Amino acid sequence: MGELRCNESMSRHTSWRVGGTAKRFFKPDTVEELATFLAQLPPEEPIVWVGLGSNLLVRDGGIDGAVICTSGVLGKLALLESDLIRAEAGVPCAKLARFSVRFGLAGGEFLIGIPGTVGGALAMNAGAFGGETWPIVEMVETIDRQGRRYLRTPEEYQIGYRTVTGPEDEWFLAAHFRLRIAREDGLARTRALLEKRNETQPTGQASCGSVFRNPEGDHAGRLIEACGLKGYSMGGAVVSEKHANFIINSGTATAADIEGLIQLVMRRVEEEQGVKLVPEVHIVGDAAPIGEK
């Protein structure tokens, strides 16, 4: 039944390559196996969902609960109608973007710039290049702690900038994306967006993507750079020289280094720029005991 590991190091499953161990780590082979696993968990046990591990910081003390990994398992993509795509939660956003372009559809090209999976994009209304996830969502498929499945519409959620609130203790299994028939060359557009991303962001390095939400009418990267924090480091964590809204693991960082640098950046920006930055990254787990790393 799927793959269940105990005391699994989360540094293997996060794009920052840091994090303590998870009490249970489960990769289901099927939705039915996932439903059975969820139903058997103690009702009080915390659950953390992981796709590609971007936008996630797992503290060094690890997760005293269950981690469910969708990457590589909930990966089905299908064209349901001429302009409607169904994508499961484990599908990388970039793969969905390429799939839509291949079928002559427009409106999903921005997904090429999101370094996570469909499940994560749904959970936080991820966006890039001026586009956001939920405006193209027609329906979502979810599952609860008892393994029951639901079909829900966007009207059942409160959706904002990088925030999504919906039924408690339900998680996304898949989404149906309504796009439009393209009049332009979508392949050329996705290539141009990828080139722009590679020029402006530290791709190929261990980061989580953007660390902070952009304040209304401004950019977090600009505010951080204005404080002179590009290149600033704490332990093995470094504010990227290429884009100040990225924190890089230079190779020796702990989760505590990264979280400490996040807090320092927030303090400095508030003190010097008068803006309170809000982290976009999801921080989970327990801090390591004092004296341990």
Mean pLDDT in the chain?
Answer: 93
216: left (phi over 0), alpha (psi -120 to 50) or beta: beta
Structure tokens at 285: 């787990």
Residue 76 has which token pair? Answer: 């089905």
Q: Which helix (H) or strand (E) is 25 found in, with range?
A: strand 21-27
Contacts of 22 (CB under 8 A, 6+ apart): 7, 8, 10, 48, 58, 62, 63, 65, 66, 67
Least Cα distance to 59 among 289, 283, 239 occurs for: 283
On whether the CB atoms of residues 60 and 255 are closer than 8 A, the answer is yes
Is 189 one of the catalytic residues? no
Q: Element (H or E) spanning 31, and its range?
A: helix 31-40
Question: Residue 246 — very low, low, confident or very high, per pLDDT cuts 50/70/90?
Answer: very high
Per-residue model confidence as pLDDT tens digits over 250-269: 999 999 999 999 999 999 99
Architecture of domain 3-69: 2-Layer Sandwich (3.30)
Which part of the chain is CATH 3.30.465.10?
Answer: 77-188
Q: Which CATH architecture has domain 204-284?
A: Alpha-Beta Complex (3.90)
Please identify which of the residues 98, 210, 240, 259 carries the catalytic annotation: 210
* Amino acid at residue number 92: P
Does 191 qualify as catalytic in the annotation?
A: no
What single DSSP character describes residue 44?
T
Question: 170 catalytic, yes or no?
Answer: no
Q: Where in the chain is the domain with CATH 3.30.43.10?
A: 3-69
Question: Where do the CATH 3.90.78.10 domains begin and end in the chain?
Answer: 204-284
Non-local (6+) Cβ contacts of 158 within 8 A are 164, 165, 166
Report which DSSP code applies to 283: E
How confident is the model at residue 150, as a pLDDT?
98
For 11-67, the pLDDT digits (tens) are 999 999 999 999 999 999 999 999 999 999 999 999 999 999 999 999 999 999 999
Which residue among the candidates 24, 59, 86, 162 is catalytic per the annotation?
Answer: 162
What are the residues whose beta carbons fall under 8 Å from the beta carbon of 266, sequence distance 6 or more? Answer: 212, 276, 277, 279
Distance CA 39, CA 31 (A): 12
Architecture of the domain whose range is 77-188: 2-Layer Sandwich (3.30)
State residue 244's pLDDT score: 97
Neighbouring residues of 231: CB distance < 8 A, sequence distance ≥ 6: 238, 239, 241
68-77 confidence digits (pLDDT tens): 999 889 999 9
